[in-house]
Structure 1
Amino acid sequence: MSDVEVSVVLPAYNEEATIERTVEVTLETLASFLPAGAFEVIVAEDGCDDRTPEIATRLADEDDRVRHVHSDERLGRGGALEYAFERAEGETLVYFDTDLATDMKHLEELVESVRSGEYDVATGSRWMPDNQADRPTKRAVSSLGYNTLVRLFLRSDMQDHQCGFKAISRETFDALRSEVEDEHWFWDTEVLVLAQRRGYRVREFPVDWEPKGDTKVDLVRDVFGMGSQILRTWWQLSVSPRISRRVSMAAGSLLVMLALVVAVGVVFDLQAVFDAMSGADPRLVAASGAVYLLSWPLRGLRYRDILDRLGFTGDTWFLTGAIFISQTGNLVFPARLGDGVRAYVVKARRDVPYPSGFASLAIERVFDLLAITVLGGSVLVGLVLTGGTEQIAEAIAAEIPPVQIGGETIDAGAAARTALRVAAGVGAAAVLGVLAILASARLEGDYVHRAVTTVSNDSYADYVSGVIAQFVGDVQAVVSDRGAFLRVGVGSLAIWVVDVATALVVFHAFGVDVTTALVATAFFAVSVGNLAKVLPLSPGGIGLYEGAFTLIVFGLTEEVAVPVAFAVSIVDHVVKNVVTILGGLVSMAWLNVSLTTAVEESREAGEVEAAAATED
């Protein structure tokens, strides 16, 4: 049985200039507070292509306290640590960066924090009070931003997750290693987050730290690589455990009803809204759902035209099903994660690369915004020219008293003006975006690559610039082609005309006469409502659509009272969401696609492609 209690692992990749000195300092420091034979130093050499393996082997031959653990292939920093820890003999596992940036006077405190049994995990910190850390601006900004995101999304109590100076007990490592998925720079952050979530005792203490040599921090790699790992871990720890098939089926509808009840209770007489809803003709409400269903094959046709221009084929019904599934995902999941589901489906079933899959989604969004802007723009221009926006604001302010929310007074009239300005701004941004894409299509040269590489010379930057260039090129291919632009544009207008027709049927179900003025109002209300929910501030734009819709209808029509306008917006949005969810469920069964599986596999496939690209 070995007498080794403490195993110190030095992760090394091409460290021929420093590894020998690092091993010497480590041995000297450990010998100053640990008994002879109670420790070992392991050089975890990770597929190096310099003289590091040769030096590590010689050091191990010369001193039996040193071991060389070699890997023929690159495992990544986290992978190399795991590989070495599994072969280590000590019950206290320690590692730190080979550049010795952290003052070695702290090594005893680090080791004894865990060796004594007082803590399960210990880590040095460069962001706690009482430490000294000489952080260059580039490192300080990226480190502060990264740690802030980890604390915000992953609910960590640590101030510094990436300090390369940590210790963990063998028991804790064995319990957590199967849950840790990252194999590179995010590995130790994931260990810290999981240890806290599982209730292990984690200690963070200040250390003196001074960078040695050139930083390996890269802006592009960190933003896209580490950021994606934060989102992946957040999803696995906070979202995925709460999602089951039953939850997926019901979540969209439940969120709709909850948000609407809250919104109605704040602003309107709840009973008046319910009375208006109870008086609606159920047959016409059902008919509105049938009308809205007609827009979905149109969406499939439009998506087929987009993919065809990008060089990919797909039948209309398959693509309609894929859109149903992705839009259902957007209702169930936050931050429009359903868009990734569609990219996964067309990648898995039609071999459309992810950059092209996401570009096709972006093209849809651009044309949706343009269509909405065109349909509502004429009404908006007329209102602006005739002072109609003031009419809306004054009508709302007269009917709806100021509302107290969070200790602040919200003026309904001011809110109406703001909503209209935001809608106009989003529409203008869509038009300007298309003009920018058209202009860039005429430019020659790899401007994307130049822009990305000005902030990074890492291999990952080449991958990212390539993805962005392909994405921009795919968008340009459709927008700059007159025939494709016309087909997709007309299809988009048809889709949104059906959307407005659905709302008009709902109005009729509530006993409101469908006049020319109401048709114009409906076009404007639906347009502004959808512009208001462009940003994914709530699943499916719940609350945002209803609020904007009600402001417009009430402000422009004297015959539609506030409770009725809000009731119409509720039913209109619920009908559309119910059709979307039902279509999504049917499509998932037809195409044998699971939402949660698709989200996970799209993320994993993207990471594999990125990893493969950076190794080329």
Structure 2
Amino acid sequence: MDKGVVSRSVSVVLPAYNEEQTIEHTVTTTLETLQSFLSPGAFEVIIAEDGCDDRTPEIATRMATEDGRVHHFHSDERLGRGGALERAFEAATGDVLVYFDTDLATDMSHLEELVTRIQSGKYDVATGSRWMRGHRADRPAKRGVPSRGFNLLVRTLLRSSIKDHQCGFKAISREAFNDLHEEIEDRHWFWDTELLVRAQRRGYRVSEFPVQWTPKGDTKVDLVRDIFGMGSQIIRLFWQLSIQPRITQRVTIAAGLLLTLIAVGLMTLYLDPSDVIAEMGRADLTLVGIAALLYLFSWPIRGLRYRDILSQLGFNERVGFLTGAVFISQTGNLVFPARAGDAVRAYIVKMRRGIPYPSGFASLAAERVFDLLTITGLAGIVLIGYAATGQGGEVASAFGADPETGAQSGRTAVIVASGVGMAAIAAVTAIVLSARSDTNRVRTFITRVSNDSYGEYVASILERFIGDLQRAAGTRRAFSLIGATSVLIWVIDVLVAAIVLAAFGVGLSTIQLLSVCFFAVSVGNLAKVLPLSPGGIGLYEGAFTLLVVGLTPIGAATALGAAIVDHAVKNIVTLVGGVISMISLNVSLTTAVEESQEMAAAEIDADATAE
């Protein structure tokens, strides 16, 4: 492949995948165009062949053998467009790095202008544009409309001044590439856009100029690449550049506290806060203490369940270590929004026990699905019980009262809870059925909507994830074992709420107390699945209060006071256990959150490429 290292001023990279019909013509045209304005020996052409399964490698090897200006970089596996470009640029010898699509959709008369803009030293990055004034582009509507929408999103969210980010006709100086390429995370079609956005953010001089462009080859909208792939990458880069730098532990805690105060504040529209505080002051502290001890007992059971899930994936760990990992991750969910603590647990088991991130996240997903399935089942059983005892009307009236009493929020909570519950049941059903089938439905579905390398990348990640999820819950023994511990965990959670409610001297019979708590705790936890506040604070209290008030003679102030104490007891036990676990395992919560996101993305990408 290498014919001796020669210092060349220009390196042109042609990313190629199954281009046997066009690659020879493309290379010949490129050489002719370059030699028309560059001196001999001042350029090279690199064919970055990306895991082709046609005759492209054979043709590229022959051309590289026949012409010393041509190099062929072969890859046995798909690297993705961006991955193939980076690999070639790193090995290229030129000071000006150029690439364009092998279909030569952009008129080659613009190549000299592209190269000259970098060679002159006036610009660090140059790109052709199909959307600038003065361009000529026969852009089909089925590609033009999505392209304009994509570029609008990039300009709006990522604050880019470029009009056309995806035109496959770009050049960059060696210095700028060396400085930027390690920051670029995407290895597929978003690579071009990320290069331009990061270059602008770093203050590099970026030039965009109009080109004549004629579409060639496949112009289909690829569902996975264009919507899932590109859309998710815009969100990822927006988070990294605009949100993440502003999120500190202080900001996160302040935002969570603000959301909590807002949620509690909305409740005070219907309740006098002094009444709630007075009711909390009359609670029996002995019963509250018993509730806290009972809740503490549930944590080793959580560790036991997590051990059983991981054992199905082939990882055998001690219950004590896993209980600490669960404590820390749940503490993270209390402190950080959007359940960021879940990533912390995957980070801990990866760093301490070497469990891969896809398996770590699959084990978390299995745990969450069983949690949702269990509390949905508990709520359903109690609802059937109410109907069987002739109390169905009371349940209906609890969600059909005057909105000014706060019941409107209760109806919203039930709608959310019902949707989440049905999703959990559907997920478990799909897992069990798919585990009993030998058909690879994930890749089959992906290939139906995508024939791009990004689709293969997404399929490989989903296959690993779903495969682990199936192993965690796909057998009768595993399902029964994990299901039984899940029921025990949530029964304890309900009993804690019942003891706390009894501490307020509500005067309910044991059956009434357990019935309303099973229903209120289940619906409250389903409602707080939406990550609107850390730990679901505010959402749980609201749903719990409205159900207790609607189904019992208990007043709103007492119900809210009990809900606050119940949630506070559980959160305090979680925080204390989390702090002790962080000290014993030597884990920093903020460091774990930051590193887990970066390492998870890197490992999942590496695993997908390897597979």
1:488 to 464, 468, 482: 482
The change in CA–CA distance for 1:590 and 1:19 in structure 2 (over 3 A counts) is same
1:370 to 352, 369, 373: 373
What's the offset of the Cα at 1:496?
1.3
Q: Partner of 1:64 in structure 2?
A: none
Q: Does 1:176 align with 2:180?
A: yes
| Equivalent pair of 2:276/2:561 in contact (CA under 8 Å) | yes
Between the aligned partners of 1:149 and 1:100, the Cα distance in structure 2 is 27
Q: Partner of 2:60 in structure 1?
A: 52
Q: Partner of 2:573 in structure 1?
A: 579
| Equivalent pair of 2:131/2:210 in contact (CA under 8 Å) | yes
The change in CA–CA distance for 1:145 and 1:216 in structure 2 (over 3 A counts) is same
The change in CA–CA distance for 1:21 and 1:334 in structure 2 (over 3 A counts) is farther
Q: Does 1:7 align with 2:10?
A: yes
What's the offset of the Cα at 1:6?
7.4
Letter in 2 for 1:294: F
Q: Partner of 2:329 in structure 1?
A: 326
| Equivalent pair of 1:44/1:80 in contact (CA under 8 Å) | no
What's the offset of the Cα at 1:258?
1.3
Between the aligned partners of 1:334 and 1:81, the Cα distance in structure 2 is 40
Note the 1:471-510 alignment, pairs <5 A: 471-472=465-466, 474-477=468-471, 479=473, 481-507=475-501
| Equivalent pair of 1:9/1:84 in contact (CA under 8 Å) | no
The change in CA–CA distance for 1:42 and 1:367 in structure 2 (over 3 A counts) is same
Q: Partner of 1:88 in structure 2?
A: 94
| Equivalent pair of 1:512/1:560 in contact (CA under 8 Å) | no
What's the offset of the Cα at 1:398?
4.0
Q: Partner of 2:418 in structure 1?
A: 424
Instruction: Give the match's secondary structure for 1:50.
Output: helix
Instruction: Give the match's secondary structure for 1:191.
Output: helix
Q: Partner of 2:3 in structure 1?
A: none
Between the aligned partners of 1:581 and 1:242, the Cα distance in structure 2 is 25
What's the offset of the Cα at 1:155?
5.1
Between the aligned partners of 1:584 and 1:149, the Cα distance in structure 2 is 40
Between the aligned partners of 1:157 and 1:540, the Cα distance in structure 2 is 39
Note the 1:168-567 alignment, pairs <5 A: 168-169=172-173, 172-182=176-186, 185-204=189-208, 207-214=211-218, 233-234=237-238, 236-238=240-242, 240-242=244-246, 247=249, 254-269=254-269, 272-273=272-273, 276-277=276-277, 280-281=280-281, 283=285, 288-381=291-384, 386-395=392-401, 397-400=403-406, 413=408, 415-443=409-437, 445-456=439-450, 468=462, 471-472=465-466, 474-477=468-471, 479=473, 481-507=475-501, 512=506, 515-516=509-510, 517-561=512-556, 564-567=558-561
What's the offset of the Cα at 1:351?
5.0
| Equivalent pair of 2:291/2:500 in contact (CA under 8 Å) | yes
Per-residue deviation, residues 452-491 of structure 1 (Å, max 9, x unmatched): 4434466776676566456545545565544433332221
Between the aligned partners of 1:333 and 1:81, the Cα distance in structure 2 is 41
**Which is worse superposed, 464-473 or 520-529?**
464-473
Q: Partner of 1:606 in structure 2?
A: 604
Per-residue deviation, residues 71-124 of structure 1 (Å, max 9, x unmatched): 576883331453266x3235xx54322321123355466556666777553433
Note the 1:123-162 alignment, pairs <5 A: 123-126=127-130, 132-135=137-140, 137=142, 154=158, 156=160, 158-162=162-166
Between the aligned partners of 1:179 and 1:479, the Cα distance in structure 2 is 38
Between the aligned partners of 2:136 and 2:497, the Cα distance in structure 1 is 62
Per-residue deviation, residues 231-277 of structure 1 (Å, max 9, x unmatched): 65455434554566xx2xx6775444211212233452499336634
Q: Partner of 1:164 in structure 2?
A: 168
Letter in 2 for 1:426: V
Between the aligned partners of 1:122 and 1:287, the Cα distance in structure 2 is 69
- Provide TM-score, normalisation by structure 1: 0.77
Between the aligned partners of 1:280 and 1:132, the Cα distance in structure 2 is 70
Between the aligned partners of 1:582 and 1:227, the Cα distance in structure 2 is 40
Letter in 2 for 1:549: F
The change in CA–CA distance for 1:591 and 1:221 in structure 2 (over 3 A counts) is farther
What's the offset of the Cα at 1:304?
2.0
What's the offset of the Cα at 1:493?
1.7
The change in CA–CA distance for 1:298 and 1:88 in structure 2 (over 3 A counts) is same
The change in CA–CA distance for 1:229 and 1:427 in structure 2 (over 3 A counts) is closer
Q: Does 1:98 align with 2:102?
A: yes
Instruction: Give the match's secondary structure for 1:553.
Output: helix
Between the aligned partners of 1:274 and 1:6, the Cα distance in structure 2 is 77
| Equivalent pair of 1:389/1:417 in contact (CA under 8 Å) | no
Between the aligned partners of 1:156 and 1:286, the Cα distance in structure 2 is 57
| Equivalent pair of 1:504/1:514 in contact (CA under 8 Å) | no
What's the offset of the Cα at 1:208?
4.2
**Which is worse superposed, 422-431 or 506-515?**
506-515
Instruction: Give the match's secondary structure for 1:95.
Output: strand
Letter in 1 for 2:139: D
| Equivalent pair of 1:330/1:540 in contact (CA under 8 Å) | yes
The change in CA–CA distance for 1:450 and 1:386 in structure 2 (over 3 A counts) is same
What's the offset of the Cα at 1:566?
4.1
**Which is worse superposed, 292-301 or 103-112?**
103-112
The change in CA–CA distance for 1:310 and 1:9 in structure 2 (over 3 A counts) is closer
Between the aligned partners of 2:136 and 2:295, the Cα distance in structure 1 is 62
Instruction: Give the match's secondary structure for 2:213.
Output: coil
Q: Does 1:42 align with 2:44?
A: yes
Q: Partner of 1:588 in structure 2?
A: 582
The change in CA–CA distance for 1:157 and 1:504 in structure 2 (over 3 A counts) is farther
What's the offset of the Cα at 1:12?
4.3
Instruction: Give the match's secondary structure for 2:12.
Output: strand
What's the offset of the Cα at 1:323?
1.8
| Equivalent pair of 2:259/2:533 in contact (CA under 8 Å) | no
Letter in 1 for 2:276: A
The change in CA–CA distance for 1:243 and 1:300 in structure 2 (over 3 A counts) is same
The change in CA–CA distance for 1:457 and 1:256 in structure 2 (over 3 A counts) is closer
| Equivalent pair of 1:78/1:184 in contact (CA under 8 Å) | no
Between the aligned partners of 2:131 and 2:393, the Cα distance in structure 1 is 55
Instruction: Give the match's secondary structure for 1:589.
Output: helix
Per-residue deviation, residues 573-606 of structure 1 (Å, max 9, x unmatched): 3443443344334333333443322332222222
Between the aligned partners of 1:292 and 1:536, the Cα distance in structure 2 is 23
Letter in 2 for 1:82: F
Between the aligned partners of 1:116 and 1:271, the Cα distance in structure 2 is 71
The change in CA–CA distance for 1:89 and 1:365 in structure 2 (over 3 A counts) is closer
Between the aligned partners of 2:297 and 2:156, the Cα distance in structure 1 is 42
| Equivalent pair of 1:518/1:557 in contact (CA under 8 Å) | no
Q: What number of residue pairs does the alignment pair up?
A: 581
The change in CA–CA distance for 1:274 and 1:97 in structure 2 (over 3 A counts) is farther
Per-residue deviation, residues 515-571 of structure 1 (Å, max 9, x unmatched): 54344322222211111122445443344333323332333344322x554454444
